[in-house]
Every structure is written in structure tokens, then in C-alpha cells.
Amino acid sequence: MVKKQKIESGALAQSVNRAWVFDRVAKGIVFIGGISAIVFIISIFIFIFDQGMGFIAEDLKPGEFFGSEIWRPTSESNPTYGILALIAGTASITGLAMLVSVPFSLGAAVFISEFATGRVKEGLKVLIELLAAIPSVVWGFIGLSIMNPLIVQLFDVPIGLNMLNAGIILGLMAAPIMTTIAEDALKAVPDGYREAAEAMGATRWQVIRRVVLPSARNGLGAAILLGVGRAFGETMAVLMASGHAINLPTSPFDSVRALTATIAAELGETARGSTHYEALFTIGIFLLLITLCINLLADLVIRGGWKRRKL
């Protein structure tokens, strides 16, 4: 009797031990997984800054870099590194893309979250996720082969690869992710709010306008900002649809060139360590910093809401 008890308690101690070991191992693996993201980010920063630093330290003339629209890195006699036109290209395309995608995606999110039910809802969500998974080169192909002749025909302009084309393509590309995030934000609004408002005699539109949208405000803001980030960083589709011409645009029908596309198109043809190469990395640093700002802003928008709610 006594012996049996001893065995049982021994077995118990062992099994607890095994669970404990497993717990420690699992914890370690998860920790490595978590920390690796930070390690990667820091490594990328170091690498890009290291590659671009040479240019910043020696050749950078800030006035020319940010103030000149002449990007002529391969000129033998007088290489000029001005990214103003590239900034204008990226900004104009991103702005146009937002004009296209914000109304579309917010509308889609409201429809999915507030109106669609059952199969329509599930079907739409799957389709939109599918849309988000279309490779950017396919979008670029659509811009090149469908939008291009369409724009030429519709607006009677000589070339259809321009700011309008790239803006629309990018808008369509950014819309699915914005829709998904915005829909999540709307879904997070408690049903009790909707029910309370409807019980007061609010119409569907009044419920959405006065209760749902205001309480999802932060999430919707974050969705838009992440969409901006997506459009801003996109490369391949922009390269194919924008016309890739250095230009300070004066109309949507001007061809433009984006910062990202410039790096993609030129980096492979520069000598490693050359001024041109380093200048491209400096553009990379600039892109990285702006993307970082956008993401931080999106984070702040969400957090700002938390704070207000807690106070």
C-alpha cells in the first residue's frame, strides 16, 4: 500500500516535470520566433544604411537631392542626383490611388459588414482576399495591356502609360487590403450598439453614419494609412503602368516615375559601390523612413483611440 502510493506520486512528479520541460522548450522556440523579427528589421536597417551612407557622407547635396527634378546619374560629365520628380511621381500616384481606393474599399467594407449576409458575405470575403493575392506583376500587365489602350482611346492622349493609369492600378491593388482591415474594424463594433440604435428607430443608414462609423473610426483610419503604405511601396505595377518617365507632372496624363520603380529598374545595372549605386540606396533609406512614419502613424491612430476610450 505504502509502496504503491510512492510509485504514484513519483509518476506524478515525473509527468509534471515533462510538462515543465516541454513548456520551457516551447517558450524558447516562441521567443526565438518573436525576437527574429526584430533581428531581421535591425539587420535590414544596418545593411541599407551602410550601403547608402557613402553617398550621404560624400556626394549628397541636400538642396539638389530634394530640390532638383533632374535625375541623371549616368551622365559622364555632370551626374545629377535630384529626386524631386521621383517624389512627385510617387506622391501623385499614391494620392490618385487613394482617391480611387478609399471610397471603393470603405464602401465594400460597409456592405460586407452591415448589409451582406450568409453566402454573399462569405463569398465576397473570399473573393476580396483572392484579389489581394494577385501578384503585382499581373496588375502591371493589366495596366500595360488593357488600361493603356483604353486611356488612349477614351481621353485621346498620345500615351496611356501615365499617372492616371498607375494611380488606378495601384488603387485597385490597395483596395482589397484596405477593405479587409476596414471590415475587421467594423466587425469589432459591438452588435449591442447597432441593436440599441435600431431600437430607437434609426434607419440602417443612420445606424452606420451615427454609430458604427464613429466607433470604428480609429480602425478605419489605420486601414487607410496601411493602404497608403501599400500603394507607396509598390514597385512592379507602378514601373509597368506609369510610363517611367522623369517628369514633374502637370496633368494626370503625364507619364511619371516612382521612387521604388527607379531603384528596381536601375540597381541591377550599376556597379556595386559606385555613386549611382549608393544614391539608389539613399533613395531606399528615404523610402524606408517614410514607410516607417506611415506605419507609426497608423499605430498611433489605433492607440490614440484606446487612450481616449480608457480616460
Q: Residue 108 in contact with residue 205, Cβ under 8 Å?
A: no
- Residue 122 Cβ vs another protein, minimum distance, rounded to whole Å: 14
Single out the segment in contact with another protein by CB under 8 A; choices: 8-16, 86-94, 198-206, 286-294. Answer: 198-206
In the set 117, 156, 271, 307, which binds another protein (CB under 8 A)?
117
Q: Is 268 in the site for another protein (CB under 8 A)?
A: no
- Residue ranges in 161-190 that form contacts with another protein under rule CB under 8 A: 190
3-state SS of the chain is CHHHHHHHHHHHHHHHHHHHHHHHHHHHHHHHHHHHHHHHHHHHHHHHHHHHHHHHHHCCCHHHHHHCCCEECCCCCCCEECCHHHHHHHHHHHHHHHHHHHHHHHHHHHHHHHHCCHHHHHHHHHHHHHHHCCCHHHHHHHHHHHHHHHHHHHHCCCCCCCHHHHHHHHHHHHHHHHHHHHHHHHHCCCHHHHHHHHHCCCCHHHHHHHHHHHHCHHHHHHHHHHHHHHHHHCCHHHHHHCECCCCCCCCCCCCECCHHHHHHHHHHHCCCCCHHHHHHHHHHHHHHHHHHHHHHHHHHHHHHHHHHHHC
- Residue 206 Cβ vs another protein, minimum distance, rounded to whole Å: 6
- Residue 120 Cβ vs another protein, minimum distance, rounded to whole Å: 13
- Residue 118 Cβ vs another protein, minimum distance, rounded to whole Å: 8
Q: Is 192 in the site for another protein (CB under 8 A)?
A: yes
Q: Is 122 in the site for another protein (CB under 8 A)?
A: no
Whole-angstrom CA distances from 191 to 45, 46, 131, 198, 207 are 43, 47, 28, 11, 11
- Residue 89 Cβ vs another protein, minimum distance, rounded to whole Å: 41
Q: Is 68 in the site for another protein (CB under 8 A)?
A: no
Q: Is 116 in the site for another protein (CB under 8 A)?
A: no
- Residue 156 Cβ vs another protein, minimum distance, rounded to whole Å: 48
- Residue 261 Cβ vs another protein, minimum distance, rounded to whole Å: 43
Q: Is 308 in the site for another protein (CB under 8 A)?
A: yes
In the set 214, 292, 293, 296, which binds another protein (CB under 8 A)?
214
Instruction: CB nearer to another protein: give 100 or 207.
Output: 207
Q: Is 198 in the site for another protein (CB under 8 A)?
A: yes
In the set 91, 134, 159, 202, which binds another protein (CB under 8 A)?
202
Q: Is 197 in the site for another protein (CB under 8 A)?
A: yes
For residue 3 the three cell numbers come to 509502496
Q: Residue 237 in contact with residue 145, Cβ under 8 Å?
A: no
In the set 7, 13, 37, 199, which binds another protein (CB under 8 A)?
199
- Residue 53 Cβ vs another protein, minimum distance, rounded to whole Å: 48
**Which positions touch another protein (CB under 8 A)?**
117, 190, 192-203, 206, 210-211, 214-215, 308-309, 311
